[in-house]
Amino acid sequence: MKQPLPYSKAKIAAILVTGIQLLSANMAFAKQPTPLLITNKVSNSYSLGNPFNQFQISQGLSSSVSISSSTAIQPRAFVNSQLMWNTRTIPVCWTNLDPNRATERGWVKNAVSKWITASGNQLNLTGWGLCTSGNPFGIKISNENVRANSQIGTNSNKINPSMQINFFATTPPPSGYNSCVASESARQSCIEFSAVHEFGHALGFQHEQDSPLVTDACIGYLENNNLSAPQPWLGDLTLTNQWDANSVMNYCNPLVRNGDLSRLDQMAAKTWYGNISNYSTWNNTLNIPVIDVNGIKMSATLVFNGSTFVITSSSTTTPNSASEAVFSNNMIHIPMLRFQDQQNSPNFVTDLYDVWLSYNSANGQLTLTSVNTIR
């Protein structure tokens, strides 16, 4: 029996915006070429390398700097890529809900919101109630009179409690924390700094002084203050090639106890938890979680075929992104794209790019026209 034309009998709902027709999964496709041509013919089981760096080299722009960056410094963080969360919703609970310590728990939650803000409000730390019995999924906080500490990233799932934040309600405090009980404001400051720093660990970020890029001056500071020497084996990734002296994760930062995220701390949170566009060499796939098409939010998946990109799927979407892509005048602008190299794991992020692609409505292919490394 002859199939009915999609225009007359198949249920069609199309969004036609600035020359792009975006079709959701339950819609039938027209037989003629459309402004957005979807193809499933591209399949590569091997890595085709880094198309963005290849483009830069071809243009003689391998050191190009993104105009979206205010200063020429790379996004930074020393992490163990195997321990980063693959979800942006992470449960948090307390092992003890002492009614006399509600104020302190509020200080912690408020301080930790710095990481949420840095992610473009894409990170969702949920719960904050009493931990259930056993070892529930997520971050479990205790407030014993010990030095603050935390498991790294998803190791939080293995231990209960997974984090200690001292409320300094019991004296004497641990060694080195006497200043935290000097006044109520000092106590609050110590609790808030501990919260920001330890939640950095819980999100997967290691101490910046453990980075293999640590400076000699920092190593000397650690030695002079009887602090642990750098332990570069704790992580496997520094995103790109710069050490962050101002990181809240850095013992050598003289202002570390202010609990303020550095610009690069904020960029790292956005990179890992901001729901930004992502290219992986594991499958040569570019995922755009949010692309704005004249106010309509869409998501799209593109595959690199060795020379151009083709769209393999697209649909309307509701999530937000810390860095939305934009389609206009047959151009897609991705202001922040995370490049994941397959050399170590699917989570191994090595570069960030600001990317422009030109769309050819005749064949559905997209071609790189501009690639700037975000520094």
What's the pLDDT tens digit per position in 11-49?
A: 333 332 333 343 323 222 222 233 444 554 444 556 788
pLDDT digits (tens, 9 = 90+) for 247-298: 999 999 988 788 999 988 898 899 889 999 999 888 899 999 999 988 899 9
Q: Give yes or no for residue 5 having a pLDDT over 70.
A: no
Highest mean pLDDT among 110-119, 202-211, 338-347: 110-119
For residue 285, count CB atoms less than 10 angstroms from its CB and return exposed for 0-12, middle for 13-18, buried for 19 or more.
Answer: middle
pLDDT of residue 58: 85
**Averaged pLDDT score across all residues of the chain:** 81
Q: What is the DSSP letter of 65?
A: B
Can you give the pLDDT at residue 73?
Answer: 34
β-bridge pairing 309-316 and 139-142: unpaired
Range with lowest mean pLDDT among 83-97, 218-232, 277-291, 326-340: 218-232
- Lowest-confidence pick of 12-21, 97-106, 142-151, 248-257: 12-21
Q: Is 239 left (phi over 0), alpha (psi -120 to 50) or beta?
A: left
Kindly state the percentage of the chain with pLDDT values over 70: 79
Say what the pLDDT of residue 45 is.
54
- pLDDT band at residue 4 using 50, 70 and 90 as cut-offs: very low
Angle at which helix 263-273 crosses helix 102-118, to 10 degrees, equals 80
| Cβ neighbours for 3, distance < 8 A, ≥ 6 positions apart | none
DSSP 164-199: E-----SSSPPTT-GGGGSSHHHHHHHHHHHHHHHH
* Of the candidates 217, 273, 296, the residue with the CA atom closest to the CA atom of residue 250: 217
What pTM was estimated for this model as a whole? 0.81
pLDDT score for 339: 87
